[in-house]
Structure 1
């Protein structure tokens, strides 16, 4: 991994030099646009509306449209902002983990010690672990002032940028303001359905099936050209179940519980069969 930022975590008089790395990556296949008639690559050009010329990046500034006026902001203007010069991740408070709503989480970054001795880094990590709290921080990255949550993730410190308060919308739906009565038997059956799905979360158990099938399609086209037999590539596809409205909620819950119970029994039976594989006898 390559670090994308260097600075220091500061709380009180303690200074923790760190390097920052992107903690996640996109696994999607990269597709570009082409002309359907001849397969030619579609490219976007940065063309000036005034002179009509294509403009290189080094000659592009930013601007804010105020309606009747446009204000141009240059890179030199941005560098004069005091906050932009900061290379610190400033701890402002330590809060209980449950107070950080997951809807506010944005980007994730790993932090690595950036000094000869990681003593101060390990001290901060131990303090966060023992206090079972998250550090709320403020920092500047890529010309944006950001709010963040600093927490322990395994053996490292993880910085998660947070959305500002005015970036999270309030959900107010008229359909939820009506008086909806849930019958006790519906609630009990729904709880039974939930119990039948209970398990421990293991991210490795899940696969992005769309990307798997897209890769399979790309490989098939590379091997056989544009004419691809979909059924031969993906197998016979089941017909859609339709989107008809469920009339009897209780019946739907009953069938769901029964179907999931049967599937669970089949998985358990398969698992037992695998574990009973006879051991090889010694010679």
Structure 2
């Protein structure tokens, strides 16, 4: 791996020199833009809109457009002179339980390796942080952007996870949240049973990128000159007439699928799955009877929606 940043972790009066490496890489199948008729590569030129001349990459700078249309040009030297302490330092701000950080804030992950004589203070902070069960909240500047980030331990090394700022998180303003939608107790009980039936330890190696595999197979068939055969669409089961019936069918399907994945026919493992399904069905039936005996509930009026003015 090639480091993308060098600096130091600032922890009180302790300074830990580190290098940062990208912790992830995308496995997307990459394509070039080509001419459909002959496969020739499509090329783009960097052309200045003022004089119409092609501009070499070494002469390309960044520009910030003002409301009136004027452009403020910023060079690499301008960015290098920014008075930003975090450009070469990961500043520890506080420590907090990991579950208090909403995952929606996370952006990218980086591994940190001790640099030079930083191994001992690195290991000291690593072990202390792991023992505390918390994460460090830090501030760092990477790729011309300052970010909050968390520092946690994974496989014996620090993982720096950059975060979005609060004003970069959108609010889900969906109409159904204001409509007072209600579910019946028996539906909730059956849905809970479905979740329980489908629960298990998470192992990402059990899952594959089916689209990528199909895409690579398509490319290979093109290379070999084979006829491309469209994959058969899976047969769809008839839709259930109501939500509760759909949930019951889903629980049974999940039970059979879990039995098949563990090994052995579903019938041989029926007691465990049947117990879960039967218990949920019993709860749902009791809830349904209770609902019939109870007096009719008034419908919750939908909240008035505020209309935004243009």
| TM-score (ref. length: structure 2) | 0.80
Aligned to 1:189: 190
Aligned to 1:56: 56
Q: Which 5+ residue runs of structure 1 have no aligned equivalent?
A: 273-283
Aligned to 1:275: none
**Residues 59-70 of structure 1 mapped to structure 2, 5 A cutoff:** 59-68=59-68, 69-70=70-71
Q: Work out which of the residue numbers 240, 246, 268 in structure 2 matches 1:252.
A: 246
Alpha-carbon deviation of 1:22? 0.3
Alpha-carbon deviation of 1:44? 2.3
Select between 259-268 and 62-71 the one with higher mean Cα deviation: 259-268
Aligned to 1:143: 144
Aligned to 2:291: none
Aligned to 1:104: 105
**Residues 246 and 239 (structure 1 numbering): CA distance in 2 closer, same or farther, change over 3 Å?**
same
Select between 152-161 and 53-62 the one with higher mean Cα deviation: 53-62
- Does the 8 Å contact 1:148/1:161 carry over to 2? yes
Q: Over residues 189-244 of structure 1, what are the superposed CA-to-partner deviations in whole Å (9 max), with x where a residue is unaligned?
A: 111111110110001111111111111111111111xxx4232xx6x4125749x9
Residues of 2 paired with 1:245 and 1:49: CA distance?
Answer: 57
Alpha-carbon deviation of 1:158? 0.5
Matched, 1:5 2:23: no
Aligned to 2:171: 170
Alpha-carbon deviation of 1:77? 1.8
Q: Which 5+ residue runs of structure 2 have no aligned equivalent?
A: 267-310
**Residues 74-85 of structure 1 mapped to structure 2, 5 A cutoff:** 74-83=75-84
Residues of 1 paired with 2:125 and 2:208: CA distance?
Answer: 35
| TM-score (ref. length: structure 1) | 0.87
Q: Over residues 60-116 of structure 1, what are the superposed CA-to-partner deviations in whole Å (9 max), with x where a residue is unaligned?
A: 111111221221212222222111783111111111111111000011000011023
- Does the 8 Å contact 1:84/1:143 carry over to 2? no
Aligned to 2:305: none
Q: Over residues 153-176 of structure 1, what are the superposed CA-to-partner deviations in whole Å (9 max), with x where a residue is unaligned?
A: 121010000001111111121221
**Residues 253 and 15 (structure 1 numbering): CA distance in 2 closer, same or farther, change over 3 Å?**
same
SS of match in other structure, 2:263: helix
